[in-house]
Chains A and B, each alone.
Chain A
Amino acid sequence: MFRKRPDSAAPTVPVSVEGRDIRVPAGASAAAAMLLAGFAAIRETGVTGTPRGPYCLVGVCFDCFAEINGIPNRQSCMVRVAPGMAIRRQHGRRAVEVNDA
């Protein structure tokens, strides 16, 4: 999907994407890390389960919802990577977990 610019001198940070460790430029968003890792699709829609990837990358379309450090429904284009960040795709609609007391 994407690769580093050939002459890039951007520093990188280690993150994990779908459990795989990769280094991504420090200025990248979590969505960019996904695209760099080769995932065109980040989520499946809640309505029909169709694969989707980021469309706008500026916080408008909300098609980049992902699970970041265990929290789903994060707008991944709006979250900058940090060392050790765990980024995962999310599948379908979220559900509320009810824990009986």
Chain B
Amino acid sequence: MTPDRVDLAIIGAGPAGMAAAALAAELGLDTVLIDEQDSPGGQIYRGIERAPENTPLGADYLAGKSLAASLRASGAAYLPATTIWHIDPDGTLSLISAGASRTLRAHRILIATGAIERPVPIPGWTLPGVMTAGAAQIMLKTADLVPAGRAVLAGQGPLLWLVAAQLIRAGAPPAAILETTPHRNYHAAARLLPATLWPGRRALRKGLALIREVRRAGIPIRREVRGLRAIGRATGDKSVERVVWDGGEIAADLLLLHEGVIPNTQISLALGLDHRWDAAQLCWRPAVDEWGATGVPTIAIAGDGGGIAGAAAASLSGRLAALDAAAFLDKLDPAERDRRARPLRAALKRQLAIRPFLDALYRPAPAVLVPADDIVACRCEEVTVAQIRRAARLGAQGPNQAKAFTRCGMGPCQGRICGPIVSAVMAETLGKPIAEIGAYRPRAPYKPITLGALAGLGAE
């Protein structure tokens, strides 16, 4: 059993969490890794332990195997299928697993909850059969399932091309790729190319190889697609039937959307940690130092949850956070921490070299952040962009007030999906920068829990 107060509790078993847990345990920290899934990997390496060597998911995916193996071989306690529903900055975590809740105390908490896909609020995005590209990838990673019928991939970003290539290898090529990258992005990215070419060469080569692989498969590709919308069947389940854009349309049984990923800030926002609006990546990111430490001494953040940098960078930042946790708990001399961090920082710098280029190339078009008035922004409570604008004009000064005006963000997802949209729409309506408008302040329970689980906690 895990003791009453552990040295380090890590939330999320993706690359950052797995790497941090293995190193922290090696450094002698009593470490617990808590994860909502029933096997390690996070979303990027989801299902990694069961993946065959010839998986259509490719070599970068298989790189997760060694991370999962080093976690298993480490002395870190691993709590799978366990959800965190509250964290107190004093180090108390409230967990729920198998329907029962309990608490755990830690001297330090490392949030490694990774990224989520940016919401893509086009007309028809709530129709059955409209999913994210990542969702299709999860079907392949966890269950070896591929789209049946015509799957259309639409949006932009490295993951769009990766999913296309993986579906081709899996024997289920997409019917078309509709790339939404605005023309001006090419100019912005081109300016960064000279500085990126050498330090970012490996990532560039990988990306170009993916695009070539998709082209060679003969998949129709439309560029600079604008006015994307999904049209549903008139009857029955109303599921998607066609995808339409300015100047074209295609029949589709499945529409897979992707406009990049953003940090999963649900827990860091709920904790009231300081967050900054990242104008390059167009998302909120928690303010952290070079070790991932936040303004609250007991809490640190590693991986994409602290800013999008990818899986390889996430495992490096996880290790940096583990070193810092060990120094924080007097298990490692600060000078030794710094010495051991040096090669990690050098590797991290190499991983980050491609980012400014990717951020410029795949910067979402304005309509992704601020959609048209008739589009549903809050999927749970079915609140439209127009209703949020009206709330702003009636005096709501930020997303938290808009909640009270409209119920946006008050459904089961607790603003995870509509948060970025509501902040951007209010900023535009009120003519203020997003940084000033702010983000939702999510509240515990971070995930819905049953009254039975809560009652059981009191009976402990």
Question: Which residues of A come within 8 Å of B, CB atoms?
Answer: 1-10, 24-25, 27-29, 32, 35-36, 39-42, 45, 47-48, 50-63, 65, 73, 75, 77-78, 80
Contact = CB atoms under 8 A, between A and B. Distances in A.
Contacts of A48: 382
Contacts of B254: 1
B413 A62 contact: yes
B139 A32 contact: yes
A50 B171 contact: no
A4 B128 contact: no
Contacts of A5: 56, 140, 144-146, 170-172
Given A53-B128, A53-B129, A57-B134, A10 B143 contact: yes
A41 B239 contact: yes
Given A62-B380, A63-B379, A1 B148 contact: yes
Contacts of B447: 59, 75
B253 interface: yes
B382 A45 contact: yes
Interface in B237-267: 237-240, 253-254, 264
16 contacts: A2-B146, A3-B147, A4-B146, A5-B170, A9-B144, A25-B145, A27-B50, A27-B143, A50-B126, A51-B239, A52-B128, A56-B131, A58-B116, A59-B447, A65-B412, A77-B138
B149 interface: yes
Nearest to A10: B144
A42 to B, nearest CB: 8
Given A53-B239, A60-B116, A4 B145 contact: yes
A12 B276 CA distance: 46
A98 to B, nearest CB: 14
Contact of B135 (A41, A57, A73): A57
Nearest to B39: A27
Contacts of A1: 129, 147-149, 253-254
A41 to B, nearest CB: 4
B411 interface: yes
Contacts of A78: 36
A32 to B, nearest CB: 5
Contact of A41 (B146, B237, B264): B237
B101 interface: no
B238 A51 contact: yes
Interface in B161-179: 170-172
Interface of B: 36, 38, 43, 47, 50, 52, 56, 116-117, 125-126, 128-132, 134-135, 138-140, 142-149, 170-172, 237-240, 253-254, 264, 379-382, 411-413, 416-417, 447-448
- The 3 A-B residue pairs whose C-beta atoms are closest, nearest first, are A53-B128, A28-B143, A40-B128
Most buried by A among B132, B134, B139: B139
Given A50-B126, A78-B36, A60 B145 contact: no
Nearest to B172: A5
B313 to A, nearest CB: 20
A58 B56 CA distance: 20
Contacts of B139: 2, 32, 35, 57
Nearest to A63: B379
A1 B129 CA distance: 8
Given A41-B239, A50-B126, A6 B131 contact: no
A55 B130 contact: yes
A60 B47 CA distance: 18
A14 B142 CA distance: 17
Given A40-B128, A47-B381, A62-B411, A8 B138 contact: no
Most buried by A among B128, B142, B171, B417: B128
Contacts of A39: 237
B52 A9 contact: yes
Contacts of B138: 57-58, 77
